[in-house]
Every structure is written in C-alpha cells, then in structure tokens.
A and B are shown apart, each in its own frame.
Chain A
Amino acid sequence: IPPDSLPGVSLPSLGGSLTKLAYYSTVQHKVARVRSFDHSGKDIDNEPLYEISVQEEITARLHFIKFENTYIETCLDFIKDHLVNTETKVIKATGGGAYKFKDLIEKKLGLKVDKEDVMTCLIKGCNFVLRNIPHEVFAYQKDSDTEFRFQTNHPNIFPYLLVNIGSGVSIVKVESEDKFEWIGGSSIGGGTFWGLGALLTKTKKFDELLQLASKGQHTNVDMLVKDVYGGAYQTLGLSGNLIASSFGKSTTADKEFSKEDMAKSLLHMISNDIGQLACLHAKLHNLDKIYFGGFFIRGHPVTMRTITYSINFFSKGEVQALFLRHEGYLGAIGAFLKGAEQDNPNQYSWGENYAGSSGLMSTSPDVSPLQRTRSGTFDMLEMDRLERPLVNLPLLKDPSTYIPDTVDLTDDAMARKYWLTCFEEALDGVAKRAAASQPDSVDAQERAEKFRQKYWNKLQTLRQQPFAYGTLTVRSLLDTREHCLNEFSFPDPYSKVKQKENGIALKCFQSVIESLDSLDWEERQFALVKGLLAGNVFDWGAKAVSDVLESEPQFGFEEAKSKLQGKGRSLLEGPPHKCALIFADNSGIDIILGVFPFVRELLSRGTEVILACNSGPALNDVTYSESLIVTERIAAMDPVIHSALRDEKLLLVQTGSSSPCLDLRYVGKAPLCGLCASAAGWSEVWLWSVAVLWPCSGHAVAALTALCCSRLDQGLAVLVRERQTDLVVIEGMGRAIHTNYYAVLRCESLKLAVIKNSWLADRLGGKIFSVIFKYEVPCK
C-alpha cells in the first residue's frame, strides 16, 4: 500500500459475522506507448511507422475485502504488513464491531481507531456504488427465468429510500450526496427474526433459521383470510391466502407446531411488516425507488423474495424493491471515503475490475452451496480509478432509458451458451497471441498461461452464475478478457500487428484516393461506403477473420470488398452535415483506407469531422495515440486532411474507453473542474466525452492525460454546442452491433459493420460477411 493509503474498515455490529476492509492502493501496470519517429530526411519505406514501448504506469485502485470475523487477526496482520505509510495515524472504522475490536486494532496496528457513524458511511458507500458500478442494482424475481434483473443506471441516482434491515430497520431518505434524513424505522427487523426465531425453534444460527423457513408452511401457523371467511372469500374480492393474523392459529397451548412452519410464518410476518412500512414511507415522500440492505437481506434469496413480494403487494406494483450487488461493502466503502475526504475520490470515476472482483455468488442455497460458503468467507471487489470522469454523449435521445447492449445474455440462455463457448474456443489463440506479443520477455509464456487460466475460470463462473457481474453481455465478456490480459501485463497484445497494418495501409492510401477521385460522384459515394465496410472486415477480434488473416497474410482490401455480401448505399445525399462524429474501429486498412477516405469526402463537402478513437488498446482497435500518428502521416500526403487539421475542421478525440464495445451512457457524475462548472452550470453540463462503461484498468487509464478537464475535453464541450454535431457514425461489430444497435440518438446516425460471425449473422437473418448499414433519422 502506497503512502496515501487510508484503510477503512467496516466491522459488523452484533449479529454480523463479517468484517469488510477497504483500502486504497496504487498499482503498477505495463502500458504500451506509441511514439512517432523523427522521419525527416530518412528513408521511411523500410522503417516501422512508429515506435512501441512498454512503460510502467501507476494507477489508483480501491480494494474491498470481506472475511469472517474469525480472521480478524490475520486481516490486521495483512494491513500491518502493507501499511508502508508512516503518515497514516488513523484507521476509520464503522459498525458495532468498531467498539468491539477497537482495542485489538489499536494494539496491533498502532493506529488510532476513528469511529465513523454507521449510517453516514452506509449512505456514502451506497451513493458511490450507485454512481460507479454498472448493473449494481437488481430486482429479484424468484419465479422468472432470470432470478436477478439488473437495472440500467439512471443518470440521476437521487432521491431514493434506503431501507437497512439489520437487527432493527432504518429507513433513510437520501436526497443528495450530503443530504439524507432518517425518516423512520422499525424495531421489527433481522434481530426479531433471529431472536424470536431462536426462541421458537431452538435454532441458533440465522442461516439455519432461513433454511428452516424455506422449508416451512406458514399456513399451518397463520390465520388466513380463508380461515376467517370459510370458503366464501371469493365473493368478497379478497384473496383467501392473505394472512389475516400472523401466528393466529397458534393461540392454543395444546397443539405442537413444526419449527419450519413457525420460522416461515415469522419470516413472512417480518418481511411483510417491513415492506408495508417502507411503502408507507415511500408514499409519504413520493419516492419509487427503495434499496434494501442489511444482514437480513444480504445474499439471501429467501428474504429478497419475501420483501419483493411485500413491496409489490403493498404498493400495488408502483414501487420496486431493489437490491445492490455490493450491498455488503457499503459501510466499508463509506468509511474509506470518509477517511479519504481530502483526496476526494468522488471527483473521479471508478470502475469495477472484473479480473480482481469475485462477483455476486449464487445466492441460491441449492445451486452451489460450496461456492456460497466460500463467498461468505472471503470475497472481494476491486475498483480502478479512471483518470477521466465519465459522462454521457449529449446526443443520446434519452440517457435514462439507453441500454448499450443489444443482447442480454443473462436473459437469453441460447445466446449465452453460444458466446461463452465462442470465447472459450478463442481463448487459446488469445493467450498465444499475448505471449507472442512479448517475444523478449522471459515469463511471457507463463503469464499468458496464467491469463488463460484466469479467464477460463471467469467463463466457468459465468456459465454457472451468469449474473455474477451484473448483466452478462458480449461487451462484458470482451471487457473481462481485457481486464484479465491487463492483470498479467499484456497491455496491448496487438500493438505490433497494428503497427504493421497501419504501415501497410498507409502505403496504399494515395492510390485508393486516386482511384476514388477518378470516379464520378455517385460511383464515388458508393465506393466510399463499400470501402468503409470492406475496411471493417479487418478485425482480429472476430474469429472468422482472424482465421483468414492468420492463414492468408496477403489478404487485401480488394479481396475483402469482394467477400462482402449485399450492398451499401450512400447517405451523403442531400445537404451536407454541419459536423460528423465518427467512432472508429480497427487499425490499419479499416481506419486508413476505409474511414479516412470517407472523412475526406465529408470534409470536402464542408462537414466538420470529429474522429473518436479508444483511449486504450482493445484487440486491434485503433487507439487515440495511434490515430494521432496515422493522421499526421496522412496529412503529409493529403492536402484535404492537412488543411482540415490545420483549420480544426478535423478533430481527433479519445473516447475514454478501452473496450471493443461502446457505451454512450453516463456512468459517473462528471466531476467538473471549476472551469467547466462555471462555464455551464452543473445541471446542463453533460461534458462532451464519451463514456466508457467497463473502464478498463491499468494501461487504459494510464494512457490518458491525467487531467480532470483536459483542454481537449473542454474544447469539445464547447465544440459540440458550437458546431452542432448532426451526424454520428458508429463503426464495427462491437460498437454498432453488440452495443448501440438499438441506441436512439437525437441526430442522424449511421451504424455500420460487417457481420464476422456466422451465428450472429444467422440470428440477424443474414450470412457471414453480411453488412449492417443502419441509417436512422430522428423523428421530429
């Protein structure tokens, strides 16, 4: 742990048995960098286009660990060993255990324990995960195909109701980051279930009580409406199964009741009561989002189910019971944030690192009791800091309903099976490619194998528990792979391939332009679109293509054009656009011979162009820094590009993403620097910059300029307003099909890609190498 680490510990209150530890560390990562050679006066034909170097970068990471109290001493040893910072004098702790373990901690660590208010920590933590972790929130539906229904993050997380069911119940209304209010509570909570349950059933453990409850029949103990009304309740419009009086049948000393039945009755009584009170409070304060947490809920499908039922019943479906994936960490995260207030972690965006996080374990006791036990003992969450705050594309029609992903693999079992297999089959090749990308490294083979093993395990986990990291999508599978590659220091396995392909494509640029220029207008438009699509065939991420590319290294642009199925059509009819925003895909032929001629045509029509490339590497996608070099070289050859760059009619920007897919959505509060904030005022500032959803860790982040508001971004925020972007082009399978296929924008948009996967082609009703060309005009 580096000097600025400030651990926060959440120690459970009585009854709880888990300790959560939060700490901050900086992580060293290898980052691939590209740097242009000085080519002046040299023979550039036989030289590589640019230099690739691997550097060490330091990035910030948050760690959250959860373990059983019995390991508290081991944990404290761990903290002690890692606590290299002599400046740290204080450890922040929250929870009832903060009292219990205070002396032990102070003695072991030589740090002063600073107790933080439980609720304040909880809410701080809750705001943090709601803002930073995609698919943090889920609704629970026992009897549907998908037990966990993950919610899309709403740009505005406030206001909400947090109902914390610990030994008692606290109902807190949260209106903003710093404004929250205890609006009520109830003494009938988890402690009542546990305490009363222990008295009634002589069963001591909370988990065992829940087990009993899940096997019982409450109707043997409760008095139901039908017990009071006889068989005639139907005529009254009442459900006979409603409970008229909890424990109403046990009003006798002569009868024995089974433990299971009593536990079940108790569970219903408590869940219904909490749900009813929560609904009454929600109604009074006009709120429709209720998050439930606390040990009563935590990872227990039985209680999530009864609470969900109760909320549906009492609110008549108007309020939704919501749960959080990382609910168990809220207190620790909050305590940590309290301690780190002067560093203000909230000014950054953070993203879950899939490689380092254990994910949501199956909560169903029947499915995998083994894993469940394991997750109860030890579980972790890692979050990486993104140097750039994430905001959404201002051109999204409705950011609150935008769902980037086209297919929800949590929902669609067939698709899930297909893609998991697809990623499994491709894995050996990826590992090989990773090892080959670092021929000079002695341990590359070994690291590649570790990567392979880690990603393989992730895929197996996802087969068992598709919901482990929120909604499973092709994007999350791709991103998890990037996280894992990163974890084993393979920052950019395709860097050399990209370098080579960029070099080759640049050599063809002029001849492609010449041949285009020789065509008449109509033919040229057609050829341009065909070129865009043909370029997009060159995708190492697609197995069908990488097979061809591996076996036929000479495979060229013309062959690709001839492989394309169907026809493209021109969208450049009618008056020119003011400004086009293009999300580029692959390096090499795609960007240079496909995208650039198109850009050039737009520029000649008087349309300004913003070319957005990934901030960090993903497969053979062109990165921002590579795009700078490529553009510079093209400008040297082409006067149109040259003058456009000079006149700032062509702008290169980075997306902030390191994913082959693209999330146009807001994922974090845009922590504005003073300049931005004063320029625009918070509510209307959706700073221009494209959000990354699965903010890849390490290398991706490090490649960025570490400025809260870089000049580029600020310029762009103004730019989008001033230049009025009225066309968005999204290119590639990852960005236009796996994601954004259904995205609705406020301006004209073109989504184009070549389907390089036969299964997907089948699904979409076409053949492999079919073309997707989706041109949409917003309805007025």
Chain B
Amino acid sequence: MECVQRRKQIFPWFGLDIGGTLVKLVYFEPKDITAEEEEEEVENLKSIRKYLTSNVAYGSTGIRDVHLELRDLTLCGRKGNLHFIRFPTHDMPAFIQMGSEKHFSSLHTTLCATGGGAYKFEQDFRTMGDLELCKLDELDCLIKGVLYIDSVGFNGHSECYYFENPTDAERCQKLPFNLENPYPLLLVNIGSGVSILAVYSKDNYKRVTGTSLGGGTFFGLCCLLTGCSTFEEALEMASHGDSTKVDKLVRDIYGGDYERFGLPGWAVASSFGNMMSKEKRESVSKEDLARATLITITNNIGSIARMCALNENINRVVFVGNFLRINTISMRLLAYALDYWSKGQLKALFLEHEGYFGAVGALLGLLDSA
C-alpha cells in the first residue's frame, strides 16, 4: 500500500471493529523505531505497546490471536508487526475505562472504528475516555481489509484457501487459492448476523442481502439448548455430536432418495424435525443438539449465499467472519454444500484472518486519512 504522507500519522496505529458480539482490534507494532524516535516517544505510548505485545491475554476475556500475527509488514513506509486482538463487546466499557486510565487521549492520536459499536459507544468514548472516534463504514472497511490482507499474504503463505474433497475426511485438504483477480466475488461475512456483498471492483460493491441467522444464532441457541457459555464450548460439543439424531433426513421420510426431485437421502429435510417427537427429544444428547444447531445455521447460510451467487451471476464466494473461527465443520460443510448444490459451478473460499478484516480496514482508513 502506497502512502505518500507517511510519517504524518502518529503512533499508535489501531483499527477497531466493534461488532454485535465481538470487538476486533488490530494494532500495528512498529519495529523500525529509530533511537531518535524512541527518545521522543512518550511513556504511555511505550507502555501501551509493551502491554499489547508482551501479553497474549488481556483481562479475563481479551485474547491476542498470536497465530494470525503478520510479521515484517511494511505499512506506510514503516516496518512492523500487525497484531490481532479480540474481546467481547460487553466488555467495551472496561476497555474504554482502561484507555482512560492509560491516558490514551493525551497521545493525540485518532482512533478509527467501524461496526455498529462505533456508533453505539461513540458517546462513551467521548465522555469516559475523552476520545473522539473516527467512524468508518463497515462494509468499506471489510472490503478494504480483505483486499489488503490478501495482497500482503500471510507471512509468505496464501491468505486465501479452499477445501478439496470437503466431505471426505481422509482426502479433504486445505489448499491455497490465488485470489489475484478477485472480481467479481460474493463476500459473505458471518458475524452475529450475516451480510452478503457482491464486489465488482475495489470501489464498486453492493450489499445484496443479509440474514439474522448467523453466528449469534448458533451460539445463542446452543446456550439455550445445552447450557454452554462460550462459543468454543459450543463448537467443542458440536464436534462430538450427531445431528442426524436431531434432524429429519430425506431418507427418514422417503426411505431413501426422493428421486422425483433429485434429493439425496442424506439431505436434511427438516432441521430439528425429529424433535417433534417426545421420545426422540428424550434420547438426544447436548452434543447432538449443538451439532444440529451448527449444521442448520451453516446450511442455511450456504443456501442463501448460493441463491445470491446465482442471482448475481458470480461463481466465487468468499466466507469471512468470526463464526468460522476454529470452525472447520462449518467451513467444510459450506465448501461441500456450495459444490454439491451448484453441481460444481460455485467455489467456496476462505481467508485465514476470518473476522479481522473490518478492523484492518479501519486501520487502513486511519492511514489514508493522514
């Protein structure tokens, strides 16, 4: 990325994406600080850098995804590492409080933020943290972030990948995908809810549709059905469950394939359909329920994405968002469902930095504004 007025933007460089469930924070840690700069650097800037880079967890809920860190990145002429941090949105007040305690406002930096929370917490930043947020458009940031991260690559590896043989556990493998000529592409962002964008060029995109059945729905239903309290716990349960005990499959109704309509027997005819029966409700485990919830939400997203791709006449679908974090089951299922129902016409693609693109876009927005 070219940045003409490069030294104008003073450190620290942050990008913030405040979603419905999670806050995503990217932090650029400059590694090329000259002695002269070091001299000038104020104390609390140092301490912020030290705090963020020397820890992998912040408080009880903040986490740095170390495995995603982008090293030796050149951004606006500066060399450094890009760090990826997340914490739940409900801890936002504590985060602002911390900023206030560390006298963040005295740094006279701009804090660029996107996501709905940029609006929701704007006032809190102002009153509690004495900070003026620079609010950036969510979708602009998302696309900018995706294009940027893909262009710089993942520490020498490909950012974009796909699954070959997604249903065959033995033969399924993750393979790099070259997204050099990305357009047109359908970008499906699965956060708490889902947004679907058709991207025709860097600046030409539209929001096609969205659905409220997203990551929040999976997690919310799992909490209600299983009593779990974290997304990781829900996914862990799902990985041990059997959804076919919960769902009614085509073969449960027709004894096999429904040939009249070309429906395979293994296809789900009714999600949670078996749960209409009292006996079956009593015989399923929490793990089965978690799995069924995951399969239901994932299949539905796949189905809507497929219909949008057909309507927009686009054959590459990129799935991003934190719902996919550590969620191989969903990724493989999306890959498979898109391939199967489109008879190989559609390809599901994934990106390593799943949920962080909005925050990256916000950081880039900060640098652009300099």
Contact = CB atoms under 8 A, between A and B. Distances in A.
A200 B212 contact: no
A230 B276 contact: no
B303 A119 contact: no
Contact of B216 (A199, A246, A277, A283): A246
A120 B260 CA distance: 9
B347 interface: no
Given A182-B261, A257-B224, A252 B212 contact: no
Contacts of B115: 228
Given A230-B116, A281-B307, A244 B20 contact: yes
Interface in B179-232: 191-193, 209, 211-217, 219-221, 223-225, 227-229
B225 A200 contact: yes
A189 B248 CA distance: 11
Contacts of A232: 119-120, 122
B171 to A, nearest CB: 26
B19 interface: yes
A563 interface: no
Interface residues of A, number: 66
B308 A14 contact: no
B270 A189 contact: yes
Interface stretch (A63-71, A219-227, A593-601): A219-227
Contacts of B261: 119, 170, 182
A191 B192 contact: no
Contacts of A221: 220
B273 A167 contact: yes
A200 B212 CA distance: 19
Contacts of B225: 199-200
B306 to A, nearest CB: 9
Contact of A251 (B122, B123, B219): B219
Contacts of A314: 209
A247 B217 CA distance: 5
B82 to A, nearest CB: 26
A730 interface: no
Contact of A246 (B212, B248, B263, B278): B212
Contacts of B159: none
Nearest to B88: A251
Contacts of B229: 252-254
Interface in A220-256: 221-223, 225, 227-233, 235-236, 242-254
B253 interface: yes
A262 interface: yes
B212 A280 contact: no
Question: For chain B, which range describes its interface: under 10, 10 to 19, 20 to 34, or 35 or more residues?
Answer: 35 or more
B223 A253 contact: yes
Contacts of B224: 200, 247, 250, 257, 262
Interface stretch (A51-59, A268-276, A411-419): A268-276
A601 B264 CA distance: 73
Contacts of B289: 199
Contact of A196 (B253, B269, B275): B275
A188 interface: yes
A284 interface: yes
B272 interface: yes
A758 interface: no
Contacts of B326: none
B116 A253 contact: no
B220 A167 contact: no
Centre residue among A166, A189, A230 by max chain B CB count within 10 A: A230
Contacts of B193: 223, 243-246, 248
B276 to A, nearest CB: 5
A362 to B, nearest CB: 27
B271 interface: yes
Given A194-B276, A277-B304, A281-B307, A272 B212 contact: yes
A216 interface: no
B304 A245 contact: no
Contacts of B299: 187
Given A250-B224, A284-B310, A276 B211 contact: yes
A192 B120 CA distance: 34
B74 to A, nearest CB: 34
Contacts of A190: 270
A209 to B, nearest CB: 10
A168 B273 contact: yes
B117 A228 contact: yes
Contacts of B116: 225, 228-230, 233, 244
Interface in B241-275: 246-248, 253, 260-263, 267-275
Given A119-B261, A269-B217, A284-B310, A245 B212 contact: yes
A229 B165 CA distance: 40
Interface in B150-188: none
Interface string A149-182: 0000000000000000011101000000000001
Nearest to B250: A168
A75 interface: no
B192 A248 contact: yes
A195 B213 contact: no
Contacts of A229: 116-117, 119-120
A145 B122 CA distance: 44
Contacts of B191: 245
A117 B260 contact: yes
Contacts of A168: 248, 268-271, 273
B271 A280 contact: no
A511 interface: no
A605 interface: no
A416 to B, nearest CB: 41
A549 B246 CA distance: 74
B213 A96 contact: no
B247 A187 contact: yes
Nearest to A229: B116
B217 A195 contact: no
A191 B21 contact: no
B121 interface: yes
A191 B249 CA distance: 12
Contacts of A186: 300, 303
Contacts of A199: 225, 272, 275, 281, 289
Nearest to A238: B116
Contacts of A227: 20
Contacts of A245: 20-21, 191-193, 212, 214-217, 220
B296 A187 contact: yes
B270 A253 contact: no
A252 to B, nearest CB: 6
A198 B268 contact: no
Q: Which 9 A-B pairs have the closest CB atoms?
A: A230-B120, A195-B275, A247-B220, A245-B216, A228-B116, A191-B270, A248-B216, A195-B272, A191-B273
Given A190-B270, A198-B281, 9 more contacts: A182-B260, A186-B303, A187-B267, A196-B272, A231-B120, A232-B120, A245-B220, A246-B213, A253-B223
16 contacts: A14-B276, A120-B260, A182-B260, A187-B267, A191-B270, A191-B273, A192-B271, A195-B275, A196-B272, A223-B192, A232-B119, A248-B220, A251-B216, A273-B300, A276-B209, A284-B310
Interface of A: 13-15, 96, 117, 119-120, 166-168, 170, 182, 184-192, 194-196, 198-200, 204, 221-223, 225, 227-233, 235-236, 242-254, 257, 262, 269, 272-273, 276-277, 280-281, 283-284, 314
